Chains A and B, each alone.
Chain A
Amino acid sequence: MPPSGETPAASRLSALTDAELVERCRAGDPEAWNELVERFSRYVYAVTVRGFRLSEQDAEDVYQEVFARVYTHLDTLRDDSALRPWIAQLTRRLCIDSLAKSGREQPGDAEHEDVRDRTTEIDEAMAVRDALGTLPESCQEILDRFFAQDQSYRTISSELELPAGTIASRIARCLRRLREELET
């Protein structure tokens, strides 16, 4: 989903498939690398803090290590379209290593189940986010600001220059569009 106020060039990058993005990164395109980080940043962050409930310090360490390894080993990726599952597996593995290193008691069966449920939910959230990317930018913005960024109606109204009394309705209508998109 393109962030607000992005340039036409950045918009073109956000339209690239994962495989196309990998190719550009390998060619040394710095903007492509920036886009790769933006594209997977929320996912990696969610897996560390929400999925595995790492401390903020450990979560940051894992986050940076994930992208460091992606950068270092991008050339060894055999199937460029498999970028997403590769990053997913890498993130989970580094989270498990982090838990072991921090001396936290290894999760029992029940906790493994909880982690699996939370990471499944994160995968579902990614699918929803992909669908969100197909909606008009106005819908993408308003839904992201309210649900993912905790912005108030007043802030959204001010920043998107929309009448304050229309925000809740717009959110409801955009959610309906998102539901319809996912049903097709």
Chain B
Amino acid sequence: MSRGFDEERLGALLRVLRPAPRGWVEAAQELPEARRTLDDLVERAESDLEFRAAVLADLEVALERAGVEPDRRTVSWLRERLGVPTDRA
């Protein structure tokens, strides 16, 4: 397919697709592993009431102990999986 782009337009279009921040890319790439860890954590919380109570007492600490970065999105996702109501700002 022929596209009539001259060098000037090509330069401008090459500038449109810039690399995303490296941290964003790596976090997205680590998603499958993080998900597996979180799935294991949720499964255990569903079968072990004492463990569930400990997790709910401090979600961030529970995530850190499981080796997962307790960022806002992950904490929110875990809260949702455990059926805990979220506070809306």
Name A residues whose Cβ lies closer than 8 Å to a Cβ of B. Answer: 30, 33-34, 37-38, 41-46, 50, 60-61, 63-65, 67-68, 71, 121-122, 124-129, 132, 143-144, 147-149, 172, 175-176, 178-179, 182-184
Contact = CB atoms under 8 A, between A and B. Distances in A.
Contacts of B16: 46, 50, 121-122, 124-125
Interface string B5-18: 11100110111111
The 3 closest A-B pairs by CB, nearest first: A147-B14, A45-B20, A125-B16
Nearest to A171: B11
Contact of B10 (A45, A175, A184): A175
Given A64-B73, A182-B2, A122 B17 contact: yes
B8 to A, nearest CB: 9
Contacts of A124: 5, 13, 16
A127 B17 CA distance: 11
Given A37-B28, A68-B31, A179-B6, A42 B14 contact: no
B81 interface: no
Interface residues of B, number: 27
A66 to B, nearest CB: 8
B83 interface: no
A71 B14 contact: no
B18 A64 contact: no
Contacts of B17: 42-43, 46, 122, 125-126, 129, 148
B35 interface: yes
Contact of B2 (A34, A129, A149, A183): A183
Contacts of A147: 11, 14-15
B15 A60 contact: no
B6 A132 contact: no
Interface in B74-89: none
A67 B31 contact: yes
B14 A143 contact: yes
